[in-house]
Structures are given as C-alpha cells and as structure tokens.
Amino acid sequence: MATRHTLVLPFTPATYPNPAAVLSTIYRTLVALPSSATHFDVHFSTPEAHGDQLYLQLLRSPEHHWHRFQTFLGKVYACLGAAQWTAGRVLLEVEVSFEGEDGATTRGEVIALKGMWLAALALPC
C-alpha cells in the first residue's frame, strides 16, 4: 500500500539562516522511511511563539530575501537528494511547503489528515 509521509519542522529566524538541525532531521527521517512510502513531504511552519509565519514575512519583500531563501531551499533539496540516494529511493516523490504558501496545506490540516504518517518535531527554534 502506497503511503504519504509528512514531516513538520519549524521555520524560524534561527532555523532559516542556519538549517543544520532541520537538515539532519530531514535526512534521518527520509532514510528511515518504510519501503511502502511513495511520497515524502516536508512542511515548514513558524511556531506561534515566534509571531507571524516567517514565510509570509519574507514575501513582503521578496527581492530582499531572494538569495537567502534560495540558499535555504537549495540546502533542503540537496539534503533530500542525498537522503534519497543513500536510501536507494531516488524516485521517491518529495515536496517542500511552507505555512502560508499559496495552495499549501496548513499545519492544522496536516495534523488533521488521516491515513498518513506524520512527524512533528520540537527542535530548538
């Protein structure tokens, strides 16, 4: 049976410029996925304690944040690719989304989904 796995991670002023903690979590989680997994989604969300969603804050001045955001995404996708290669799962469908992104599932919707494996981690923010 095909399954979709979602990992919810913090997207904060601390994890944005230095995503090392979230990258290691992404890598370890993908490598440990069961063979039945057909999709792996990484959903970034800013905890309420940090105020507004960081993704929405970045959108207010996209030209200013373009380089740093692309660098962050590059690290995330490189990590996903390395994990897929290590796990021998290069055809595994992966997706990265952010709370507040057009068309993205919200944190509440992700948690409410049934029949899906979900890991929401408390990492240093």
Domain that holds residue 72: 3-120
Q: Which residues, in sequence order, are bridge partners of residue 97? A: 43
- What is the token pair recorded at 82? 């390395």
Q: How many domains does the chain have?
A: 1
- Reported as a single tens digit per residue, the pLDDT across 44-97 is 999 988 889 999 999 999 999 999 999 999 999 999 999 999 999 999 999 999
125 lies in some domain:
no
Write down the pLDDT at residue 91. 94
Q: Which residues, in sequence order, are bridge partners of residue 7? A: 42, 119
66 lies in some domain:
yes
Rounded to a whole number of angstroms, the distance between the first and last alpha carbons of the chain is 35
Q: Residue 114 — pLDDT band, cuts 50, 70, 90?
A: very low
Contact assessment for residue 75 and residue 26, using Cβ atoms and an 8 Å cutoff: no
105 lies in some domain:
yes
Q: Which residues contact 41 (CB under 8 A, 6 or more apart)?
A: 4, 5, 6, 7, 94, 95, 96, 97
